Structure 1
Amino acid sequence: MKKVLLLIDYSTEFSRRLLKGLIDYTKENGEWTFYRMPMYYKTLLGETGIYNWAKQWKANAIIAQWELGKFDIFKDLKIPVFLQNYKEKNDCFSYITGDYTGTGRLAARFFIQRGYKNFAFCGHKGFRWSIERAEGYQREIEKSGGNYYYFESEGINEIQWSKSHVELKKWLHLLPKPIALFACDDNFAIQISEICKMNKISIPQEISLLGVDNDELICNLSEPTISSIVLNIEKGGYEIGRRIDQVILNNKNESFNISIDPLYLELRNSTEKYSITNKYIREVINYIENNFRNDCNTKSLTDLVPLSRRSLETKFKEEIGTSVYQFILDRRIEYFANLLISTDKDVCEIAIEAGFNTCKNASRFFKKAKGCTPLEFRKKQNKSNEKTGLS
């Protein structure tokens, strides 16, 4: 019987999905038991009290959020300790981490492709995952020549609300509009959404808002609903179970990181708008978004607006930074990728549904864009196949 002590916040979508992946592993691999220790025990018992309880219970592993205080005492237990939401690292422990800079780059590329010139980031002060997301976002923006604005604060809870919301409100008002705003996670995104609503700042017309974690309750509770970056969280939880099993089997406690990487963007109403000044290009973009899976090409688009083919191509590239052809192709590839992850449909069936003429062409374009074939992409990232990838 493997015993795991859990000291994490169950109210967040991230933690619940992490535990779901862990439980999926335990159902397939022997007998496991969990002890859920409420978060307030950190204050009630302190480090020593929790250490003594874990030792007395003979825990085989600990998964904990430990934002404050010292955790060094737990290395004496000589068991795997996984830390989530940490501020500082210690080589004695393992960490739930991820491609944070890659998540920032993904957000920036999404907004850049939509024609924005002004970009903002709202972060959680002092946390590595927030800092690295901001760094990846900023670097990509600087490459494109965009303007970057940054704000960070502690978590905005009921006690901190009065002071923090005044500072955040002032910052949001001062930002140039329209602007693309990337929040470090969905909790910060919904705070921004609420402040904008109270202060008559329009989303997405003035601020296009994107979060991280795809907490469906939070994202759909907001008005407008919030777009968010989906992370491969269940896979991380499954991998934690596998690593714990290995450590117990080999009787050798070594620290390592569990990486939880971005998968794709779940688009909702908060990012509906493109930042485009030319009304004809705006009309073309809206048409492409609704028809890219059909016979959509430059020739058919010239029938929509009073522009020649050459003029359309020139003005489109000025506004979006890419050709009409590449824009349509990118829409099809992203749609293709999302269906690979979210469905079990045949690859060729998905290719035709995404607007490609043949499966062969779709695979060629997909590999060029993603660096792997559609089947390889599905094997690595589709939730229905993620356990096979860990075996």
Structure 2
Amino acid sequence: MLKILVLTDFSSGYSRRLLEGIIRYSREVGPWSFIRMPLYYLMMNGENGVVDFAKRWKADAIIAQLRDVNIDLFRSLDIPIIVQNYRHRNKNISNLTGDYYETGVLAADFFLGKGFRHFAYYGYKNAIWSRERALGYKERIEKHGYTCNMLENKNPDNKEWLYNTEDMGKWLEALPKPTALFACDDFYALQISETCNIYNISIPDDIAILGVDNDTLLCNLSTPTLSSIVLDVENGGYQAAKLLDQYIKNEQKEAFNIVVRPLYIENRASTDKYAVSDPHVKIVLDYITNNYNNKISVSDLVNLVPLSRRILEKKFKDQIGTSIYQCVLDHRINHFTKLLLTTNLHLPDAAIQVGFDDYKNVSRIFRKYKSMSPAEYRKLYRKQS
């Protein structure tokens, strides 16, 4: 029986889903035995303590969230190790990492599509996943000609969860309204939500908030509930366990990165707002949001407002940055993607549910968005039962 030492933050939704993937693989090939090591053990005893524990327990492999990695120290164990990276990626070891930059781009595109012109980011300076999400978000926004206000927590690792409510409140009050605020994860998004409530800053009218990880406990603890980016975490855990198995069997020898990718945005009340000043554009946006799954044409939408098609399309492009037709497609593809990953619907039935009437056309459009067919996307990313 293989013995796997797992060192991570077991209180977070991300880590729990990661473990679900690891356990799913172990049941397919097992039996495996796991021992959980909470992060406070690392904080109290350091990496030497982790290595000593692994030797005493005679671990066959390690999956660990490590802030710093002493390669020589862990090589002394002569067992495979995968690091859930924290400060940085290490080129000399396999990393369980993420497409953090693309996660920031996804957040920026989401808010740009809602017509926001003011943007902010709140994160943790010491963590690579926060730094790279900030970079993707900021650079995407700047590409569209806007600026991003930044607030980064610089506390030491053992106090990263602490924040100064007064300083954050002053920062939030000083932001132009409305502002689209992206937080590095749901825990930090909840800090923003709590502070906004203390300072009577309206969510989402003054500050719209988006987090990462879709930790349902944290998202539902917020008032209003938090929108969040869903990540392919369980599959990441599965692939990490598979890689360890390959290392142990000598089928894999080189360091290899497992990349957890962003999938879609779970919309909740904290982003339930379009930041558009033109009332006619807002009417059209609201109609698209509520009727994307019905048969609607640009002509139908033009008939909703007392404007010519040319004037409406110009106003829409100026406010949203995309065409009316593209906005409808974005809504349909986003909801179609979610159905692919969260239901067992046949692909043509899922397409019909989101307003498409020709599956071949859907497949062509989807490939432009995701660079693969709907069937390939579902096979690659859907949570397995």
Conservation of the 8 A alpha-carbon contact between 1:124 and 1:184: yes
- Partners of 1:255 and 1:215 in 2: how far apart? 30
Between the aligned partners of 1:281 and 1:237, the Cα distance in structure 2 is 43
8 Å contact 2:98–2:258 — kept in the other structure? yes
**In the aligned structure 2, how far is the partner of 1:256 from the partner of 1:165?**
41
Which position in structure 1 is the counterpart of 2:142?
A: 142
Task: Give how far 1:161 is off.
Answer: 7.6
Maintained 8 Å contact 1:121/1:181? yes
Report the more deviating stretch, 14-23 or 163-172.
163-172
1:47-73 per-position Cα deviation (integer Å, ceiling 9, x unaligned): 333322211221111122222685742
Question: What TM-score results when the alignment is normalised by the length of structure 1?
Answer: 0.93
What are the ranges of 5 or more consecutive residues in structure 2 without an aligned counterpart?
none
Within 1, Cα distance between the matches of 2:45 and 2:363?
56
Asked if structure 1 preserves the Cα contact closer than 8 Å seen for 2:124 and 2:160, the reply is: no
Contact 1:66/1:84 (8 A) holds in 2:
yes
Cα distance in 1 for residues equivalent to 2:210 and 2:72: 36
Counterpart position of 1:247: 247
User: 1:117 is matched by which residue type in structure 2?
Assistant: R
Which residue identity is paired with 1:380? L
| Deviation of the 1:341 alpha carbon | 1.1
One-letter code aligned to 2:33: T
Corresponding residue number in structure 1 for 2:230: 230
Note the C-alpha offset of 1:285: 0.7
Report the counterpart of residue 389 of structure 1 in structure 2.
Answer: none
Instruction: Call closer, same or farther: CA 1:173–1:299 in 2, change over 3 Å.
Output: same
> Partner of 1:191 in structure 2?
191
Kindly report which structure 2 residues correspond to 1:339-350, keeping only aligned pairs within 5 A, or say none: 339-350=339-350
Output the CA distance in 2 between the equivalents of 1:158 and 1:190.
19
Query: SS of the counterpart of 2:224?
Result: coil
Distance (whole Å) between structure 1 residues aligned to residue 140 and residue 101 of structure 2: 10
> Against the structure 1 CA distance between its residues 377 and 44, is the aligned structure 2 distance closer, same or farther, given a 3 Å change threshold?
closer
Contact 1:212 1:230 in 2 (8 A): yes
Q: Output the amino acid matched with 2:350.
A: I
Change (3 A) 1:251 1:326: closer
More displaced, 348-357 or 250-259? 250-259
* Residues 158 and 278 of structure 1, relative CA distance in 2, 3 Å threshold: farther
Q: Provide closer, same or farther for how the CA distance between residues 296 and 252 of structure 1 changes in structure 2, counting only shifts above 3 A.
A: closer
Contact 2:153 2:160 in 1 (8 A): no
The 5-angstrom pairing of residues 100-119 of structure 1 reads 100-119=100-119
- 2:247 maps to amino acid: V
- Per-residue Cα deviation, 1:23-66 (whole angstroms, up to 9, x for no partner): 00000102110112233322443433332221122111112222
Cα distance, 1:94 vs. partner?
2.1
Q: Shift in Å at residue 336 of structure 1?
A: 1.2
Q: Does 1:322 align with 2:322?
A: yes
The 5 Å alignment of 1:375-386 reads 375-384=375-384
Residue of structure 2 equivalent to 1:354: 354
Residue 38 of structure 2: SS of its match in structure 1?
A: coil
Answer whether contact 1:227 1:270 (CA < 8 A) is retained.
yes
Q: Which residue of 2 aligns with 1:151?
A: 151
Q: C-alpha displacement at 1:167, in angstroms? A: 2.2
**Structure 1 SS opposite 2:164:** helix
**Do residues 171 (structure 1) and 171 (structure 2) align?**
yes
Cα distance, 1:99 vs structure 2:
0.6
Secondary structure at 2:384 match in 1: helix
Pair 1:36-2:36 in alignment: yes
Q: Name the SS of the counterpart of 1:256 in structure 2.
A: coil
The alignment partner of 1:40 has SS state of: helix
Q: Which residue of 2 aligns with 1:207?
A: 207
Identity %: 49
Mapping 1:261-280, distance limit 5 Å = 261-280=261-280
Give the counterpart letter for 1:8 in structure 2: T
Q: Measure, in 1, the Cα distance between the counterparts of 2:59 and 2:249.
A: 15
Q: Which residue is 2:374 aligned to?
A: 374
Cα distance in structure 1, aligned partners of 2:368 and 2:254: 38
Which residue number in structure 2 is paired with residue 86 of structure 1? 86
Matched residue SS, 1:201? coil
Query: In the TM superposition, what is the alpha-carbon distance from 1:228 to its structure 2 partner?
Result: 0.4
Cα distance in 1 for residues equivalent to 2:177 and 2:167: 18
AA aligned to 1:103 is: T
Q: Secondary structure at the match of 2:230?
A: strand
Separation in 2 of the partners of 1:369 and 1:89?
28
Q: How does 1:284-323 map to 2 (within 5 A)?
A: 284-323=284-323
**Which residue type is aligned with residue 107 of structure 1?**
A
Moved more, 70-79 or 346-355: 70-79
Indicate yes or no: 2:74 matched with 1:74: yes
Deviation at 1:9, TM superposition (A): 1.3
TM-score normalised by the chain length of structure 2:
0.94
Change beyond 3 A, Cα 1:64–1:155? farther
The answer on whether the counterparts of 1:80 and 1:253 sit within 8 Å (CA) in structure 2 is no
Residues 1:8 and 2:4 aligned together: no
- Relative to 1, partners in 2 of residues 1:348 and 1:251: Cα closer, same or farther, differing over 3 Å? closer
**CA deviation map 1:213-249 (0-9, x unaligned):** 0001100111111010000000111011111111111
> SS at 2:249's partner residue?
helix
Q: Deviations over 1:319-376 (max 9, x none)?
A: 1122211111211111111111111111111111111121122222222222222112
Once the two structures are overlaid, the 10-residue window that deviates more, 96-105 or 154-163, is 154-163
Amino acid at match of 2:74: F
Figure out how many residues of one structure are paired with residues of the other and give that number. Answer: 385
Q: What is the RMSD computed on CA atoms of the aligned residues?
A: 2.1
Secondary structure of the residue aligned to 2:3 is: strand
Per-residue deviation, 1:106: 0.6
